[in-house]
Structure 1
Amino acid sequence: MTGCLITEGNGLSETSPVATANVLNATEFSGTIGLPVPGSDVAIRDDDGQNVALGEVGEICVRGPQVMKGYWNRPDETSKAIFADGFFRTGDMGFMNERGFTKIVDRKKDMILVSGFNVYPNEIEEVAAEHPGVVEAAAIGIANEHSGEVVKLYVVRRDPELTEDALKAFCAERLTNYKRPRMIEFRDSLPKSNVGKILRRELR
């Protein structure tokens, strides 16, 4: 589409703004957010601030000279966002591969907890989007008395004849049981931000 290789990176306001980037001499698309920029460190951590094993999913944390010192006049929020050793919690869940490249899995706040298992909406959405009758999809967690949460899927159809049962069967072939959507709601469109990102919070 662009006629050239796309080089991905990642950052946010609190990292003003770049934390990681792929190398500029890459010859193929990596699908990752790359390596820490010079002078910066990336750690993948659990909720207690402990580093997880290589390849294991945890929260992406960043430390470096471009990372903010804290939130203005909000020491309470600062203590929640920055570990004592200076690593900032980005709110993104991901993992680091054996080459040190980091891949984002999903946003932590969007994670669905089903019977103690972490379910990442992106995975469900990608599977649903593989169906030829689907334009796009968004997955959220719905409270359930037995499993804590279950997956609900919002779908914009390409094929108006596509049924809930047919799409559930399609997902069941590709997803383990606890990840399968228990409810599917068809819509004409999904709520989006100004840059076209699906707003799961509005669906919740």
Structure 2
Amino acid sequence: MNNIFQLVYQQSIEQPFKAAIIYEEQHITYHELIDKVLILSAYFKSKGLTAGQRIALFAPNGPEYAIVLLSAAKLGLAVVPLPITLKGHALENAMKSIPVAATVAWSSVSQQLLGTGLAQPENLITLNRCVSKETLWGDVFESGLKDDDKTVDTTELPFILTMTSGSTGTPKPIILTQECKIKRAFDATINYYDLTQDEVVLVSTPLYHSLAQRGLLMPLMLGATSVILPKFNVAKWFNVIEKYRVSFLFAVSSQLDMLVDNIELAKDMSSLNCIVSSSAVLALDTKEKLVKQFDCQLHECYGASEVGVVTDFCLNSHSDKQGSVGKALPFVKLKIINEQHQLVGAGEVGQIMCQSKTEFAGYLKMPEKTKLAYDEQGYFATGDLGYLDEDGFLYYVGRNNDVISSGGINVYPQDIESTIKMHPDVADCVAFAYPDKQFGEVIKVVYTTQSDSLDVNELKKLCLHELTDYQQPRYFERVDSLAKSSLGKILRQSVKSLFGGKG
């Protein structure tokens, strides 16, 4: 199997002057991209970096991401992508949990790393402006010294190390090999959605997330074009699609919520063939608006960092299954088990377990945790709850540790949240367990609104009409905002901690 560098290098031979990357009016051809990759590879070699070593990458969205990833793929290095907003103890924990041989960083991060001794100038490249005596990104390419185009088999070596626990708690890095990333690009994306070299793929989520990395690397391996947005912006999203005739993209649910609410900004969307939503379940009203407003294939997928995409649901089909996240991909096996690890029947909620050819290579230096992540049959425990219907469609209910046990009855937050979001004035909400002497746990809901006029009694009446007795929230609290990740996904644990949640 060719590695990722070899796949992209082949495109530079076959179509050297085709645009590989478009970023802020800048068009980088395949020939120009590979030239920069070979220069950076030569620089890494001059610093003594060899296969198996690791590079920390703190970079905003831009072509630099592709150049670093492809250089690492060529040399067999592993990249640890991290947000440039990381600071303090979170930054220290991330750097100490995965020792690296070199770092490529934005100046704000470089300053912190040098100031705390977490990086040395000789092993640091700063992207935008020099902080001390480290190397500046632009100076690397002044030499023009290029590595040769030869490469060893690096497909089974660690390529991406992704943190699964975010910036809090003990980091649990998952290992993704090049082989894994190639399979996710081809089997779970290119082949599944019938993509071709004519695609123009938009990347609008932060590149330190695996979803955006696939949006960047997949078209380059295919020989298509990747368009990178510096940051998500509704108006710019619509403009870029029209300007560059974008045909395919991944989006997160929070982005799609904003897009359907600002559809008047859209002009010519006729180039779009397929939109794939990921990261969180779409609200039913958002799904309905998407189907109505976009004349293209619309998909929602469910997955996990460790195993990649597990299921896919086409919103344009199966109108009777709109609450589902779809069926297992052709190379995925699914099962639902209860707390005794026994299979449950159709319609019964349990933990989602899966087998996939796109699974990770384990948690870094955590063999016991890796082993415990699987059952005896080799199924990965996702930690998510859901159920399968009689037709094999999966329905996601929530995280295992989000379940509310009220009076001994399990209540699933998503059931509460989807009901409350039915109110047109509710912007977002989180339902969680709140301590109670009589029942152990009761339900509390914190919510944000579109205006200040919403009477909480309207929400109580809505819940009484739509939910059973044990699902009724005891407490409601309107808040100005809910903590969210850079992908717009609500940080449930932060919300629960801030507003008195249990567990």
Q: Percent identity?
A: 35
Question: CA, structure 1 residues 79+125, in 2 after alignment: closer, same or farther (shift >3 Å)?
Answer: same
Task: Give the match's secondary structure for 2:466.
Answer: coil
Question: CA, structure 1 residues 27+75, in 2 after alignment: closer, same or farther (shift >3 Å)?
Answer: same
Task: Give the match's secondary structure for 1:43.
Answer: strand
Question: CA, structure 1 residues 10+130, in 2 after alignment: closer, same or farther (shift >3 Å)?
Answer: closer
Task: Give the match's secondary structure for 1:109.
Answer: helix
Q: TM-score, normalised by structure 2?
A: 0.38
CA contact (8 A) 1:142 1:151 kept: yes
2:466 equivalent to 1:174: yes
**Structure 2: 5+ residue runs without aligned partners?**
1-292, 497-503
Partner of 2:219: none
Question: CA, structure 1 residues 21+133, in 2 after alignment: closer, same or farther (shift >3 Å)?
Answer: closer
Partner of 2:345: 53
Partner of 2:312: 21
- 1:6-155 matches, cutoff 5 A: 6-15=298-307, 17-22=308-313, 27-28=317-318, 30-31=321-322, 32-68=324-360, 70-155=362-447
1:50 maps to amino acid: Q
**Deviation string, structure 1 residues 121-150 (Cα, Å, up to 9, x no partner):** 111111112223322221111111211211
Question: CA, structure 1 residues 114+80, in 2 after alignment: closer, same or farther (shift >3 Å)?
Answer: farther
Q: CA RMSD in A?
A: 2.2
1:21 maps to amino acid: D
CA contact (8 A) 1:140 1:203 kept: no
Partner of 2:84: none
The ranges of structure 1 where at least 4 consecutive aligned residues each deviate by more than 6 angstroms after the TM superposition are none
Question: CA, structure 1 residues 33+146, in 2 after alignment: closer, same or farther (shift >3 Å)?
Answer: same
**Deviation string, structure 1 residues 53-81 (Cα, Å, up to 9, x no partner):** 11111111001332335423323323432
1:91 deviates by 1.4
How far apart are the structure 2 equivalents of 1:177 and 1:14? Answer: 37
1:168 deviates by 1.9
1:152 deviates by 0.6
Question: CA, structure 1 residues 79+49, in 2 after alignment: closer, same or farther (shift >3 Å)?
Answer: farther
CA contact (8 A) 1:12 1:18 kept: yes
How far apart are the structure 1 equivalents of 2:344 and 2:451? Answer: 43
Greater shift in the superposed pair: 4-13 or 121-130: 4-13
**Structure 1: 5+ residue runs without aligned partners?**
none
1:167 deviates by 2.3
Higher relative CO (CA 8 A, sep ≥ 6), structure 1 or 2? Answer: 1
Question: CA, structure 1 residues 84+182, in 2 after alignment: closer, same or farther (shift >3 Å)?
Answer: same
2:453 maps to amino acid: E
How far apart are the structure 1 equivalents of 2:411 and 2:383? Answer: 15
Question: CA, structure 1 residues 169+38, in 2 after alignment: closer, same or farther (shift >3 Å)?
Answer: closer
CA contact (8 A) 2:298 2:314 kept: no
Question: CA, structure 1 residues 66+132, in 2 after alignment: closer, same or farther (shift >3 Å)?
Answer: closer
**Deviation string, structure 1 residues 143-166 (Cα, Å, up to 9, x no partner):** 112112111111112342333334
**Deviation string, structure 1 residues 109-129 (Cα, Å, up to 9, x no partner):** 211111111111111111112
Question: CA, structure 1 residues 74+136, in 2 after alignment: closer, same or farther (shift >3 Å)?
Answer: same
Task: Give the match's secondary structure for 1:137.
Answer: strand
How far apart are the structure 2 equivalents of 1:157 and 1:27? Answer: 32
Greater shift in the superposed pair: 63-72 or 89-98: 63-72
Radius of gyration: which is bigger? 2
- Size of the alignment, in residue pairs? 202
Question: CA, structure 1 residues 47+87, in 2 after alignment: closer, same or farther (shift >3 Å)?
Answer: same
How far apart are the structure 1 equivalents of 2:345 and 2:362? Answer: 28
How far apart are the structure 2 equivalents of 1:138 and 1:149? Answer: 15
**Deviation string, structure 1 residues 82-128 (Cα, Å, up to 9, x no partner):** 11111111111111111112121212221111111111111111111
How far apart are the structure 2 equivalents of 1:86 and 1:186? Answer: 44
Task: Give the match's secondary structure for 1:125.
Answer: helix
How far apart are the structure 1 equivalents of 2:435 and 2:325? Answer: 32
Greater shift in the superposed pair: 119-128 or 158-167: 158-167
Partner of 2:495: 203
